[in-house]
Amino acid sequence: MQALLRLSSGIDAFTRWTGKRLAWMIVLAVVVSALNAIVRKVFDTSSNSWLELQWVLFSIVFLLCSPWTLLDNEHIRIDIVNNTLPKKVRSMIDVIGHVFFLIPLCVVMILTGVPFFERSFQINEQSGNAGGLPQWPAKSLIMIGFAFLLVQAISELIKRIAVMRGLIPDPHESQVSALEAEVEHLVEAIEKK
């Protein structure tokens, strides 16, 4: 299990490093969007490639930073319900969710994303819009993003099993405690009214 935990630690480091760098693509997308709007309003001209570039930059952040979201336990869930459950039940929900939903979804998306990208690359697919960008780089983000997410899901599964076996402390325990405190504070505020 120690070898798996070292593997998980390496995956986590890669995910955090990648996520922190790629998240800056949002700033670049905003700059491109602003410049495109200024050029369009001031000079009454524009190019579809700039609009498509904004979409690609946003897609990079959305798809390639989702593993970082999973790592930091910031993915969508019903925290109010989840935090009222015992720690063992929350861990089992995570294990079941990863094994039966997240990992299979990632595998399906990779298996369907590879031929989707390959066809586009082979024909050098271009945008249907005049002056648009090639489509295959954007389509490659699907298989790359879900491959990264699959690897991070495996890391999360390893950690969750280690937590359930008592080998490591729960890496998200401080988040749960903070949320529980916030919920208690909100309940007290509602009761005072």
Angle between helices 25-43 and 48-64 (to 10 degrees): 160
Q: Residue 134's beta-bridge partner residues? A: 126
**pLDDT tens for residues 7-28?**
999 999 999 999 999 999 999 9
If you average pLDDT over residues 50-59, what whole number do you get?
92
**pLDDT tens for residues 77-130?**
766 777 788 888 888 999 999 999 999 999 999 999 999 999 999 999 998 888
**pLDDT tens for residues 160-193?**
999 999 888 888 776 555 555 666 777 777 887 7
How far is it, in rounded angstroms, from Cα 66 to Cα 62?
6
Q: Quick one: pLDDT at residue 178?
A: 58
Mean pLDDT of the chain: 89
- The CA-CA-CA angle for residues 66, 171, 157, to 5°, reads 60
